[in-house]
Every structure is written in structure tokens, then in C-alpha cells.
């Protein structure tokens, strides 16, 4: 897939400079080509902070690494740039080595290896239009992940799956969510298992300390003025970020 190296190189430069790019040469046309670009960009950026995963009915499951330079604890202040997307999500923190999937008690062991955590995903493209709207190009561009805000890990999780929950998400005066919400695909734990089955050594594989995010609880919302962003997932806790 060397014909895609110019596309990957342009994304690497965009990550490093903070500027959007319009890559020369062919764009990826398949998920496999997008993953080739992800791996090449990830290798240039260094160890990653985790992965985002999507498990939606009727669609091929997808995955992408989370960029390493923009991961902050709840309460952080982050530069908004010209625009920044935000999504409230259920995440998993990997707290112990992950079990072998062939183990008879795989799910029980997996429950002991992870803990739920509330997260706000920061979203922004490194591509210029029209490529920024192309689904495969977006997948190559880390599914337009910009970074992550991480809340407090749930230490006393009892192993119960997270599917339908109550949550609230607000940016300034804009209330994006206030009430019941469904984790995409209906099960945060199933999304985690999908990623574990799919990922292999892609972008270094899953490692202790990383975060896995499972999809937005509300439609992606872009913010273009400074504001406070506050999220709350019942049973998991609160999380916030100031976009400045």
C-alpha cells in the first residue's frame, strides 16, 4: 500500500503543525487502506493513549487510535482553535493485562481488567474539504479524533454492562442531552469485546493504562466560541472541560 504513503505523510505533518491538509496522491478507498494509514501515522506520533471503537447494527465495526498529545483530566482547559467537536461517551480504562480470548472464563477475567470511566471526546479533522467528509478518509484520519478528556475511574464496578443510561451534556447554554441515552450498539462491554477481537497488534494493540471509548451518547456537536462543557453519566460521574 505504498501508494498511500503521501496521504499518510500529509496527515503526520497536519498532526505536528496543527494545520489541515489536502494530501497529494490517492486517498484510501477501503477500511484496510485506512488502517494502513492509521498505523503509519501512529508510528510517527509515538505511543497512543487508547482507541475509539464503533459497533453499530448493520455496519462493519471500526476502530481508530486516540492521538497521544491531547489527553487531559477532567477540568482541563483546551484551545478551541476555529472549531471543536465534543461527545460524551462511556469509556473503559485498562487497569490490568487483558485475558486471552480463548479462556473459558474470558468475560469474567475481562471484567477484572477494565473499569468504566466517563469521557468527553474532542473531535476535529486534519483534512480539508471535501476529503474531510469522506467516510474512509475520516477513518484514516483517526475517525477525526482530536483528543480526550478523562473523568474519574469507577473503582467499585460490579461487572454490570452499560447500555441504556441517563446522562446530561451541556456546552455553554446549549443542552445536547438531558435524560435517557443508549450506548451505540446497545452495549459498551460488547464494543470493548469487539475491539479486543479485531485489533491484534494494530497501532501497538491494547495496553494497560489506555482508554477505550465506545461512541457518543448524543449527536456530535461543534463549538466555535469559548465555553464550559459539562457532562454527567448517572452511575459513572461528572466530567468537564473548558474550551478557550
Residue 29 lies in a domain: no
Residue 167 lies in a domain: yes
Residue 152 lies in a domain: yes
Whether residue 29 is predicted with pLDDT greater than 80 in this model: the reply is yes
Residue 215 lies in a domain: yes
Torsion of Cα atoms, 164 then 48 then 15 then 134, to 10°: -40
Q: What is the pTM of this model?
A: 0.93
pLDDT digits (tens, 9 = 90+) for 157-208: 988 899 999 999 999 999 999 999 999 989 999 999 999 999 999 999 999 9
Residue 6 lies in a domain: no
Mean pLDDT of 112-131: 95
**Would strands 164-171 and 174-182 be described as parallel, antiparallel, or unpaired?**
antiparallel
Residue 24 lies in a domain: no
What is the H or E stretch that residue 121 is in? strand 114-123
The C-alpha cell that represents 6 in the structure block? 503521501
Confidence at residue 215, expressed as pLDDT on a 0 to 100 scale:
94
pLDDT digits (tens, 9 = 90+) for 132-152: 999 999 999 999 999 999 999
Residue 36 lies in a domain: no
Number of domains in the chain: 1
Spatial distance between the Cα atoms of 171 and 176, rounded to a whole number of angstroms? 8
Closest CA to 68 of 51, 82, 56, 85: 51
Confidence at residue 134, expressed as pLDDT on a 0 to 100 scale:
94
Whether residue 240 is predicted with pLDDT greater than 90 in this model: the reply is yes
For residue 154, give the CATH number of its domain.
Answer: 3.90.850.10
Contact yes or no for 70/149 (Cβ under 8 A): no
**What integer best gives the mean pLDDT of the chain?**
93
Residue 132 lies in a domain: yes
Instruction: Give me the helix-helix angle, 106-113 and 188-199, nearest 10°.
Output: 100
Confidence at residue 243, expressed as pLDDT on a 0 to 100 scale:
96
Contact yes or no for 65/142 (Cβ under 8 A): yes
**N- to C-terminal Cα separation, the chain:** 40
| Residues spanned by the domain of 91 | 47-243
Q: Output phi, psi for 170, to 5 deg.
A: -140, 135
The C-alpha cell that represents 177 in the structure block? 442531552
Amino acid at each position: 500500500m505504498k501508494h498511500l504513503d503521501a496521504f499518510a505523510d500529509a496527515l503526520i505533518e497536519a498532526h505536528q503543525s496543527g494545520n489541515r491538509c489536502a494530501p497529494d496522491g490517492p486517498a484510501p478507498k477501503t477500511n484496510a487502506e485506512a488502517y494502513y494509514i492509521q498505523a503509519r501515522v501512529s508510528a510517527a506520533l509515538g505511543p497512543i493513549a487508547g482507541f475509539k471503537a464503533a459497533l453499530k447494527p448493520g455496519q462493519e465495526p471500526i476502530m481508530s487510535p486516540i492521538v497521544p498529545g491531547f489527553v487531559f483530566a477532567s477540568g482541563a482547559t483546551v484551545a478551541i482553535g476555529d472549531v471543536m467537536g465534543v461527545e460524551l461517551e462511556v469509556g473503559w480504562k485498562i487497569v490490568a493485562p487483558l485475558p486471552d480470548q480463548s479462556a473459558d472464563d474470558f468475560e469474567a477475567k475481562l471484567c477484572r481488567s477494565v473499569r468504566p470511566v466517563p469521557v468527553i471526546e474532542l473531535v476535529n479533522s486534519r483534512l480539508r474539504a471535501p476529503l474531510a467528509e469522506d467516510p474512509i478518509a475520516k477513518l484514516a484520519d483517526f475517525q477525526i479524533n482530536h483528543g480526550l478528556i478523562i473523568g474519574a475511574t469507577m473503582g467499585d464496578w460490579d461487572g454490570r454492562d452499560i447500555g441504556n443510561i441517563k446522562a446530561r451534556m451541556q456546552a455553554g447554554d446549549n443542552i445536547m442531552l438531558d435524560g435517557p441515552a443508549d450506548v451505540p450498539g446497545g452495549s459498551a462491554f460488547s464494543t470493548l469485546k469487539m475491539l479486543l477481537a479485531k485489533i491484534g497488534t494494530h497501532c501497538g494493540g491494547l495496553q494497560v493504562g489506555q482508554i477505550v471509548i465506545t461512541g457518543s451518547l448524543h449527536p456530535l456537536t461543534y463549538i466555535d466560541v469559548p465555553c464550559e462543557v459539562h457532562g454527567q453519566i448517572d452511575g459513572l460521574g461528572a466530567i468537564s472541560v473548558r474550551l478557550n
